Structure 1
Amino acid sequence: MESNVPLQAHGERVERPPQNRQKKMAIASGVGIVMLGTVSTVLAVTLSNKQFSAVFLDSCKKLKGGYDCQKLWRAFEQAYVGRDPCQVPMEAYDPFIAEAHFKPACNRMLFWSKTKDVVHDFTNKRDCFVTLEDTLLGSVVDGLTWCGKEGSKAACGDVTAMLNGSIETPYSPHSIFASIEAPRLSSKHVKKLKVVLVTQPHSVTNCETASLKDLQKQLDRGIVYNCQEVPEAKVQECASNPHIACGACW
């Protein structure tokens, strides 16, 4: 990743419109699978079954952990066969979840919005945080369409959100983080949300921006909120230097 590329050029998860000729499949996903071992979100994938099978298997093979990808796919596929894809009961995914051996990662969850390159450069080099895309389910649904959502147990402990300080609205109501992830953070499981606002030398916003005030207001009561402006250069330095403790990165 080149440091001179403005953050606004970095990726964002995009919701794709459904296509009538394509079969939708539901995926029990969300951070709750990783954090709590429960399924809290349903995703719709606008791909044919054959196409999605290929995406699933390819993503699975790229992950560490020695997964039996064919066995995982069979367990996953059986959850939605013969069902309305957006009405699949959560317990239908229990065999898949058991087979995938999901482990909690409390206090390490990192959400993001329009900072994809910065975030994944960091998590690829350091083992400080985990993003949804770093998990089996997250890797296969990255960028695909949300079908709906059920439940609210999406994370646990202290969570972090890395947002873009180079745009006027870092907490955009149209983003996945603002429309789905942040509203589902529950004070029963989440103690604190820390926003890391990644800045450039001439960033147009700061922690006092109106959109971040909206985030603070919309959080479930009981979740402690704070925000810190961190230069992108510092994030990159921390990512590249394993001698810097995770807690000292920001």
Structure 2
Amino acid sequence: MNTQERMSRLLWRKSILALAVVILASCFGDAEAQRIAKVPSKRYTGPGTTPNLRNIVVGRCYHYMSLYPATGVKDCNRIWQELTDAVFRKDPCNITEEDYQKLAQVTEQTIPCDKSLLWSRTNDLVHRYTKATESFMTLEDTFLGFLFNGLMWCGRTAGPGMNYNACPAWNECANNSRSSFWKMASATFAKASCGTVNVMLNGSTDGAIARKERNSCNSESLLELQQYIEEHNLTYSCIDNYKPVTALQCVENPNHHACNQCSIL
């Protein structure tokens, strides 16, 4: 056997060995994937990830840009990628606001001054108000809030992908996928706000018209807020039972005694 034949056989054997190693590694990879797939996910009490979440988020992205061209051109696929990077292969109860910082960056938006309206426990009423007046912008009206409003999502620790079976409920753990996201989104909205910032709070026991007041402008918590704001050289004002909002409530309760024309004007 000449030298050339020996070299050819040696190279052929090395190729077979390399091929065997690749196949063996592939087999180990398949086995590992199957093992991971069989690891049961922790059961949470909340609903699973919203079906077709990617299509919804990307679709909303393009829709928002068509409604509000001033938003600028956003990379909708990049936004989805940043969401998945924040939650894939992570404990859904151990997602922090910092995990969503890149998502906040790629959805950055300029908020017009004097337009921001924050709210707490007035979800339905505050959005009816902003829709009726078209004078204010809530978090859910921003690009970031619009993309994810009303959606559920969480990843799986056992591998990539979303968990469509169950996610942590809002109060099930402190740092769950959704609560940390909305904390981040709220902070981002507040930082981007300028000029006069308005807040609509629920001051009654159940939020309905003319119910017993739980809080008012003279409540201890609001007086503390006033003091904090004024200590930072900012102006503060508070109005109980803001009449335009009361009038909006009366649209659904026209016969209520509190909706007497004289009482709300």
Compute the TM-score of the two structures, normalised by the length of structure 2. 0.47
Q: Which has the higher helix share?
A: 2
Q: Which has the higher strand share?
A: 1
Q: Larger Cα Rg: Structure 1 or Structure 2? A: 2
